[in-house]
Amino acid sequence: MRTVLPAGAKPVLAALLLVLTSSAVAVARTPDFTVEQLLSSPFPYDLIAAPKGGLVAWVYEDHGARNIWVSEAGGGKARKITNYSGDDGTDLGELTWDGDGKTVFFSRGGSLEGGGPVNIMTSPAGAPPQVIWAVSVDGGEPKRIGEGHTATVSPKGDIVAFINNNQVWTAPITGAQPATQLIKDRGRNAQLSWSPDGSKLAFVSGRTDHSFIGVYDVAAKSITWLAPSVDQDRSPSWSADGTKLAFLRIPTGEAFRFGARRESTPWAIVVADAATGAGKPVFTAKRGRGSVFYDTIARKGVFWVGNDQLVFPWEETGWLNLYVMPAAGGTPRVLTPGAHEVFNLSLSPDQSKIVYSSNLNDTDRLHLWEVPVAGGAPKQLTSGTAIDDYPVQTSDGKIVALHGDGQNPLRPVLIDGGAATDLATGVIPSDFPLSKLVQPQGVVFTASDGVQVHGQLFVPANKAASTKGPAVLFFHGGPSREMFLGWHPMDAYSHMYAMNQWLAANGYVVLSVNYRSGIGYGMEFREALNKGPSGASEHKDLIAAVNFLRARSDIDPKRIGSWGISYGGIMTAMGLSRNSDLLAAGVDGAGVHNWKSTLPHLTAPGADPAQAKIAYEASAIATTEKWKSPVLFIHGDDDRNVAFAQTPEMIAALRKRAPSVEIEQIIIPNEIHNYLRFNSWVVFTKAMGEFFDRKLANK
| Backbone torsions φ then ψ of 539, nearest 5 degrees | -60, -30
- Ranges of the chain with pLDDT below 50: 1-28
pLDDT of 9 reads: 37
Predicted pLDDT at 73? 83
* pLDDT tens track for 544-580: 999 999 999 999 999 999 999 999 999 999 999 999 9
The CA-to-CA distance between both ends of the chain, in Å, stands at: 19
Q: Is 53 helix (H, G, I), strand (E, B) or coil?
A: coil
Query: What is d(CA 333, CA 335) in angstroms, rounded to the nearest whole number?
Result: 6
Given the DSSP bridges, would you call strands 555-565 and 663-668 parallel, antiparallel or unpaired?
Answer: unpaired
User: Hey, is 323 helix, strand or coil?
Assistant: strand
Any idea what DSSP says for residue 614? H
- The 3-state DSSP class for residue 239 equals coil
- Residue among 53, 17, 1 nearest 690 (CA): 17
Domain boundaries, given as residue ranges, for the chain? 43-184, 438-695
Reported as a single tens digit per residue, the pLDDT across 343-395 is 999 999 999 999 999 999 999 999 999 999 998 999 999 999 999 999 999 99
Q: What is the pLDDT of residue 75?
A: 66
State residue 26 phi and psi, 5-degree precision: -95, 5
Q: How far apart are CA 28 and CA 463, in angstroms?
A: 13
Spell out the long-range contacts of 643-651 with Cβ–Cβ below 8 A and sequence spacing 24 or more.
Answer: 643/598, 645/597, 646/590, 646/591, 646/592, 646/593, 646/594, 646/597, 646/598, 647/588, 647/590, 647/591, 647/593, 649/593, 649/594, 649/597, 649/621, 650/573, 650/588, 650/591, 650/593, 650/594, 650/620, 650/621
What pLDDT does residue 76 have?
Answer: 63
Longest dimension (CA), the chain: 78
d(CA 560, CA 238): 54
Residue 416 and residue 435: Cα distance in Å, rounded?
A: 26
Architecture of the domain spanning 438-695: 3-Layer(aba) Sandwich (3.40)
DSSP for residue 127: P
The CATH number assigned to the domain with range 43-184 reads 2.120.10.30
Q: What is the SS3 assignment for 191? A: strand
Measured in whole angstroms, how far is the alpha carbon of residue 625 from the centre of its chain?
A: 34
pLDDT at residue 256 in the model = 59
Q: Rounded to an integer, what distance in angstroms lies between the CA atom of residue 290 and that of residue 134?
A: 41
> What is the spatial distance between Cα 27 and Cα 331, in angstroms, rounded to a whole number?
64
pLDDT at residue number 8: 38
Count Cβ atoms within 10 A of the Cβ of residue 339 and give its class: 0-12 exposed, 13-18 middle, 19 or more buried: middle
For residues 316 and 289, give the distance between their C-alpha atoms in angstroms, rounded to a whole number. 6
43-184 and 438-695, same CATH topology: no
Entry pTM: 0.94
